[in-house]
Amino acid sequence: MKHITALAGLLLASTALSPAFAQENTDVTVVLGEEVDLVEPCMSTRSNIGRIVLQNISETLTELDVRGDKGLMPRLAESWEMTGDKTWRFHLREGVKFSDGSDFDAEDVKHSFERAGSDKITCEISRYYEGIDITPEVVDAHTIDFTTEPAQPILPLLMSLLTIVPSETPIEFTRDPIGTGPYTLAEWNPGQDIKLARRDDYWGDEPAVTGATYLFRSDPAVRAAMVQTGEADIAPSISATDATDPELDFAYPNSETTYLRIDQNVAPLGDKRVREALNLAIDREAFIGTILAEGTEIATAITPPTTLGWNPDVKAWPYDPDKARALLDEAKADGVPVDTTISLIGRTGNFPGATEVFEAIQGMLTDVGFNVELQMVEVAEHEQYYSKPYVEDRPILVGAQHDNSRGDPVFSMYFKYHSQGRQSGINDPKVDQLIDAATAATGEERSALWSELFAYLHDDVVADVLLFHMVGHARVGSRIDFKPTIATNSSLQLSEIGFK
């Protein structure tokens, strides 16, 4: 604790502002836990990129209201309606310009969708459209149709993830994102910082924040200290143990679910008894109130309980190390190579306490007889293990978080569990059928099918090791008017920040 106190003192001494300057300063500094390797709009569903790019530089057609009860709201699309069983028509906002001065129109929307799904680029946002054939067709400059197969009742909600770029944007990843948002990328100094500047010609209301500097510090205690001393204004992710100042710290519901993805195609992980032993070996309760915040919930699904179809009848795996050992012994007697070394891959800085959580899990798994090696890797390397094609030469558990704040499992299920999903570790025809049916269903049928799938994945397939629905903590400086939301872990809109 002494080093944190000393650091805080040094930071305070070097950054103290005069009252007059503080009142005039409408720039903000945000300190994040992970550096970005990309500023590509089509990758903005990745949390470390989304907090900088999403709705600040690049905007979407629709936007889900997470601060009130408005539901799905217009953004670049002013309205939308179904014109047939499988076709949605979007009416686009007129008078919108990109930051390069070009006009926004339907051709830009069509290009953005096709670019995100191109096999020449690996865009994260396209994974949310997998399993659905979607064809965009320009009707006129400010009208575009999307026809889907099968019918997609929540397509407007899916469009809250499609970031729009100019039609001239090349397919390959860009380092100079051009968007319609209220800010432009002013500087990117890899290893140091990123700066955004407010546009004068933004189509919407002028935000109070004139510019933003993003700094990166992996230690959550340092991030908390930087806000305490005024070197930074917002640290959207600090640890529960550092959230000790009721004047500055906010706990907020977090839509992230922490889990271990199991690739069942590699022995010994294809054996159901081994997967059950993985689940039984982990004392989930021991993490809550220690490494993780009070209020953290034990997960029984990849999405939080606020999601449509979430099944309250599914019960979490108990902590039963003796049964785990017995299952491993039984599998070993049948010739399953349970002694094989298993790699546990964690993402450094993914959340406060990530390293400690995965170290503890390694210890618990080792205690029941697994041979586990832990590797903590940076976000870019983590992606190599997380998305197909997987490393095939050894069994791997990928420690990860999945964010679904949009209320429907369609944002999760195909790419996490369908046999063709890019982050799926299973191949189960019944799972594929349930996902296909639920994706096209509406009303009570949709909810019932998702609910059936949640139970089947957890109890029958034992698809993964579900761990926690997380609680986030943010520290906000005293001059800033901002409260985090369930979406803060994936986006941080500068236009929602004011000054006191």
Residue range 151-176, pLDDT digits in tens: 888 899 999 999 999 999 999 999 99
pLDDT band at 1 (very low <50, low <70, confident <90, very high): very low
Nearest to 350 by CA among 56, 31, 35: 35
Residue 292: DSSP 8-state: B
Which amino acid is residue 395, in one-letter code? P
Q: Are 487 and 474 in contact (CB under 8 A)?
A: no
Higher local confidence (pLDDT), 355 or 69: 355
Between the ranges 59-63, 129-133, 235-239, where is the mean pLDDT highest?
59-63
Q: What is the pLDDT of residue 39?
A: 95
Q: Peptide bond preceding 253: is omega within 30 degrees of 0, i.e. cis?
A: no
Q: Give dist(CA 438, CA 441) in Å, integer.
A: 5
Residue 325 DSSP SS3: helix
Higher local confidence (pLDDT), 141 or 10: 141
- pLDDT tens across 425-461, in order? 999 999 999 999 999 898 999 999 999 999 999 999 9
Express as a percent the part of the chain with pLDDT over 90: 77
Residue 79 DSSP SS3: strand
| Element (DSSP H or E) covering residue 72 | strand 72-74
Express as a percent the part of the chain with pLDDT over 70: 95
Q: How many CA atoms lie within 13 A of 335 on its CB side?
A: 0
Considering the chain, what is the average pLDDT of its residues?
92
- Average pLDDT of the residues in 463-491: 93
Q: What is the pLDDT of residue 20?
A: 42
- pLDDT tens across 405-427, in order? 888 999 999 999 999 999 999 99
Q: What is the pLDDT of residue 4?
A: 40
C-alpha distances out from residue 22 to 228, 233, 290, Å: 15, 12, 37
- Average pLDDT of the residues in 326-330: 98
Q: What is the pLDDT of residue 199?
A: 97
Residue 90's beta-bridge partner residues?
Answer: 80, 144
- pLDDT tens across 9-20, in order? 444 444 444 444
Q: What is the pLDDT of residue 18?
A: 43
pLDDT band at 68 (very low <50, low <70, confident <90, very high): confident
- pLDDT tens across 369-385, in order? 999 999 999 988 898 89
Q: What is the pLDDT of residue 67?
A: 85
Q: What is the pLDDT of residue 459?
A: 98
Q: What is the pLDDT of residue 229?
A: 96
| Element (DSSP H or E) covering residue 3 | helix 2-15
Q: What is the pLDDT of residue 19?
A: 44
Q: Are 225 and 8 in contact (CB under 8 A)?
A: yes
- pLDDT tens across 346-357, in order? 999 888 899 999
Cβ atoms within 10 Å, residue 10:
13
Nearest to 460 by CA among 276, 229, 245: 276
Residue 133 DSSP SS3: strand
- Asked if the model's pLDDT at residue 79 lies above 90, the reply is yes
- Average pLDDT of the residues in 391-415: 90
- Average pLDDT of the residues in 211-221: 95
- Asked if the model's pLDDT at residue 134 lies above 90, the reply is yes
- Asked if the model's pLDDT at residue 5 lies above 50, the reply is no
pLDDT band at 240 (very low <50, low <70, confident <90, very high): confident
- Asked if the model's pLDDT at residue 142 lies above 70, the reply is yes
Q: Are 461 and 431 in contact (CB under 8 A)?
A: yes
Nearest to 400 by CA among 432, 370, 364, 357: 357
Strand ranges in 246-338 using DSSP code E only, listed in sequence order: 249-262, 297-298
Contacts of 189 (CB under 8 A, 6+ apart): none
pLDDT band at 486 (very low <50, low <70, confident <90, very high): confident
End-to-end CA distance of the chain: 31
Q: What is the pLDDT of residue 2?
A: 37
Contacts of 298 (CB under 8 A, 6+ apart): 284, 285, 288, 316, 467, 468, 469
